[in-house]
Structure 1
Amino acid sequence: MAADEFRLVSTHISNEGRLPRQYTQEGQGAKKNISPPLEWYNVPEGTKSLALVVEDIDAPDPNDPIVPWTHWVVVNIPPSLKGLPEGFSGKEEEVGGDFAGIKEGKNDWKVPGWRGPKLPNHGHRIQFKLYALDDEMHLGNTDKLLEAIEGHVLGEAVLTAKF
C-alpha cells in the first residue's frame, strides 16, 4: 500500500478481520448495534464531500445469488474530518460542530442509520466503501446514491470485515 494512498481504517477492525460483536445485532446489553469508529487518510485533492456505503457483499437473494445488503449510508461528510467516532450513527444532529450537515440515508431495513449484521449471515464480508466526491450529494436510497455519484468520484477507499 502506497503511503499516500486514500485509505479507510478502523481501530477496532483490521482489513479482512472480524467485525466485533458490539457492532452487530448480536451484541450484549447497551453495547449492541452501534456504528464502528472509522478513520481515513490521504483524501484526494479537490474533494468537496465524502460518502460512505456499508454493505454485506455476500447477501443472498432468492431471485439472484448475490445482492449486496446495505447496512449504512452516510453522505456529505466534510473532507476536513478525519473520521467518524464509535456510535456516531443516529447522533449526527446532537454532535453538531464539524459533523453538521452530515446525513444518514436509509439502509435495507428501510430505516436511517447503522444496522449491523445478524444471524444467519455469519461468514459474510461487510464492505465499508468511502467515496471522495467532487460535489455534495442529496440523500436517497443506496441505488440512487450510487447512480448520483457516477462521474463525481475522485477516489475510493475500502475496508472489509468478516461477520
Structure 2
Amino acid sequence: MANSSEEFRLTLPGVSQDGRLPRHYLADGQGAKKNISPPVEWYNVPEGAKSLALVARDIDAPEPEAPTVPFNIWVVADIPPTMKGLPEGFSGKDTEAGIKEGTNDLKKHGWEMPKMPNPGHRIEFKLLALDQELNLGNKVTVDKLLEASEGHVVGEAVFIVTS
C-alpha cells in the first residue's frame, strides 16, 4: 500500500477537510465577491490516467420526496492529468487545453452555489482519474459524466467542506 504522501489527494488551499468554505465562494458572498469558484489542487495522479473530471455537490441538499439528493454545483471534464489544479475564479473563463465546464442543477454553466436555506451543508469535491477522455460534447452534466466514466475510473479523491 502506498504511504499517505503518495496517495491520490484533492485539497482546497486554505481550507481544511470539513472546514468552512470562505464566503466569497458562496451565493451570499462577501460584498461584491460572490460565487467565485474556489481553487482546487491535487497530488499523485494515478498512473494510466488520461483525463481528470471534477464534481462539486451539496451532499446535504433537501429534496421534498427524498431525505437527501445531492445538488450539483460544478462539473468540469477533460482536465489534462498533467495539470496540478484549477485556480480561484477558473469557472467561466475561456477554458484551456480542451477542459469543459458543464451545467449544474441551477441550469447555470460553471460554478454556481445555490442560496443555502441554512449553513452547515457539506460540499463534496470529488476528482476522478479516468483512463480515457470522456468527449461529452458541448452539453456536459454530472449525470452524463458519471455515466460515461463507469468502468474507466483509475482513481478517486474526495475533499469535503461545509457551507
User: Shorter-chain-normalised TM-score: which range?
Assistant: over 0.9
| Secondary structure, aligned partner of 1:145 | helix
CA RMSD of superposed structures (Å): 1.2
Identity between Structure 1 and Structure 2 (%) = 65
Q: 1:89 aligns with which of 69, 91, 96?
A: 91
How far residue 10 of structure 1 moved from its aligned partner, in angstroms, is 1.5
Moved >4 Å (runs of 4+): none
The within-5 A match list for 1:16-55 is: 16-55=18-57
The answer (yes or no) to whether the contact 2:10–2:158 under 8 Å persists in 1 is yes
| Secondary structure, aligned partner of 2:4 | coil
The answer (yes or no) to whether the contact 2:50–2:80 under 8 Å persists in 1 is yes
How far residue 138 of structure 1 moved from its aligned partner, in angstroms, is 2.9
Structure 1 unaligned blocks of 5 or more: 94-98
Counterpart in the other structure of 2:99? 102
The answer (yes or no) to whether the contact 2:78–2:100 under 8 Å persists in 1 is yes
Aligned residues: 158
The within-5 A match list for 1:1-150 is: 2-93=4-95, 99-139=96-136, 140-150=140-150
| Secondary structure, aligned partner of 2:5 | coil
How far residue 117 of structure 1 moved from its aligned partner, in angstroms, is 4.0
CA distance in 1, matches of 2:6, 2:72: 29
Residue 113 of structure 2 aligns with an amino acid whose one-letter code is: G
TM-score, L = length of structure 1: 0.92
How far residue 119 of structure 1 moved from its aligned partner, in angstroms, is 2.6
Residue 89 of structure 1 aligns with an amino acid whose one-letter code is: S
CA distance in 1, matches of 2:108, 2:115: 16
The answer (yes or no) to whether the contact 1:12–1:36 under 8 Å persists in 2 is no
TM-score, L = length of structure 2: 0.92
| Secondary structure, aligned partner of 2:6 | coil
Residue 17 of structure 2 aligns with an amino acid whose one-letter code is: N
